[in-house]
Amino acid sequence: MSSLGAALTGNLPGVITVATQGTPGAEDPKIYIRGQSTWNNSDPLVLVDGIERPMSSVDIGSVENISVLKDASATAVFGVKGANGVILITTKRGKEGKADIRLTANSTMKLPSKLESKYDSYDALRVRDMAIENELGVSPSSWGKYVPFAELEKYRHPANQAEAERYPNVDWQDQIVKKFTMSYNANLNISGGNKFVKYFSSVDFLHEGDIIKKIDNNKSYKPGYGFDRINAGTNLDFTLTKSTTLTTNLSGSYGVKQDAWGQDSWEYRIWQSIYSNAPDIYYPRYDDGGWGYFPAEQVSTINSAATMGNNGVRKTTTTRINTDFTLRQDLGAILKGLAAKATLSFDNAFVTQGDL
């Protein structure tokens, strides 16, 4: 799992995750704790080492444990923000002893979960011919749409490229979707310490591939989807005195997501061809370089290959820097169990977009 939200799926009672898309870099699911409790925002409060932060800012390799608070009595101390539940994420920290170095690498194969099956051009038109033959008695005019057998054969066995383009038999799923793709994740961390300072440092790299094919458009850019991210962080625990400790958390992430302009617009739905386009409607791209399209608005179709090949690409870069300082003073000399803690936190996030 590359997403903490996805890792929670099916593992905690009362926690529901809903994934609305699988685009690389946008795979974090919507999380509901005991259902949707408000009309507007139903997101739970997420605290990373006691600081409110997005869950996507933490890589899985740095997580020590996750707790979910669901009951009103448990979330009351967080006020209104805790009304939809609270997710507490604790990151790993160093322990006194020799340096412990760990390297973890994972690869994941992604497959389309389910794609509907379709007839090819020959079989679909043959079924239509049979329907026309059966209804001639009540609808003689339908004979004008009958496709002769000799012409049907051209869909299945075209004599040349020109005939293949004139009688298209396109597997749109094969044209747009890969059979599978790979994602890779590598994490290197080192931990240890002595009586004065304990440390945990990690570097995490993530590459998310996508099942949508890269379309050859003979242009200076290669359209497609993908996500690359690198996280780095250090947790330090200083024992200043027997009763005073200083904790610092320093972390940063840099991620680049590539997708297509207009991918969510109604007129540029890249999944349209995969599910809706008939195999005989037109060729994705003809031998002369032209893109297939329906000559009129008699039917709503989208050539997803043309959309991806000509709409350009959008790259979204997210840079995040987080810094925490926590000073804890044990006041047990005054009253057993009494302590005072002060936390200072700085969060900076920069999002930029560029296009080709």
Q: Are residues 99 and 54 in the same domain?
A: no
Q: What is the mean pLDDT of residues 310-327?
A: 90
Q: pLDDT grade, residue 202 (50/70/90)? A: very high
Predicted pLDDT at 153: 93
Q: How many domains does the chain contain in total?
A: 2
- Which of 74, 91, 108 delimits the end of a domain? 91
Q: Are residues 199 and 323 in the same domain?
A: yes
Predicted pLDDT at 17: 87
Q: What is the mean pLDDT of residues 287-293?
A: 84
- Give Dmax (Cα) for the chain: 101
Q: Residue 160: inside a domain, yes or no?
A: no
Q: Are residues 45 and 194 in the same domain?
A: no
Q: Residue 278: inside a domain, yes or no?
A: yes
Range of the domain at 39: 4-91
Q: pLDDT grade, residue 356 (50/70/90)? A: low
Asked whether the predicted pLDDT for residue 353 surpasses 60, the reply is yes
CB of 169 closer than 8 Å to CB of 121: yes
Q: Are residues 225 and 78 in the same domain?
A: no
Most confident of 7-21, 66-80, 118-132, 285-299: 118-132
Asked whether the predicted pLDDT for residue 256 surpasses 70, the reply is yes
Q: Are residues 213 and 326 in the same domain?
A: yes
- Which of 70, 91, 112 delimits the end of a domain? 91
Q: Are residues 86 and 108 in the same domain?
A: no
Q: Residue 242: inside a domain, yes or no?
A: yes
Q: Residue 152: inside a domain, yes or no?
A: no
Q: Are residues 59 and 181 in the same domain?
A: no
- Which CATH number is 53's domain given? 2.170.130.10
Please choose, from the candidates 43, 42, 18, 15, the residue with its C-alpha nearest in 3D space to the C-alpha of residue 29: 18
Q: Are residues 72 and 178 in the same domain?
A: no
Cα–Cα distance measured from residue 85 to residue 32, given in angstroms and rounded to the nearest whole number: 8
Predicted pLDDT at 39: 66
- Which of 91, 112, 140 delimits the end of a domain? 91
Q: Residue 67: inside a domain, yes or no?
A: yes
Q: Rounded to the nearest 5°, which phi and psi values hold at 252?
A: -155, 155
Buried b (16+ CB within 10 A) or exposed e, 216-239: ebeeeeebbbbbbbbbbbbbbbeb
Q: Residue 314: inside a domain, yes or no?
A: yes
For the chain, the helix, strand and coil percentages under 3-state DSSP, each to the nearest 5:
20, 40, 40
Predicted pLDDT at 91: 92
Q: Are residues 178 and 266 in the same domain?
A: yes
Predicted pLDDT at 28: 81
Q: What is the mean pLDDT of residues 247-269?
A: 80
- What is the percent of the chain where pLDDT is above 70? 94
Asked whether the predicted pLDDT for residue 35 surpasses 80, the reply is no
Q: Are residues 36 and 114 in the same domain?
A: no
Cα–Cα distance measured from residue 170 to residue 145, given in angstroms and rounded to the nearest whole number: 21
Asked whether the predicted pLDDT for residue 296 surpasses 60, the reply is no
Q: Residue 144: inside a domain, yes or no?
A: no
Q: Residue 186: inside a domain, yes or no?
A: yes
Q: Are residues 116 and 210 in the same domain?
A: yes
Q: Are residues 72 and 187 in the same domain?
A: no
Predicted pLDDT at 237: 95
Q: Which position has the token pair 């006194």?
A: 96
pLDDT tens per residue, range 41-57 = 788 899 999 898 888 88
Q: What is the mean pLDDT of residues 112-119?
A: 84
Predicted pLDDT at 266: 54
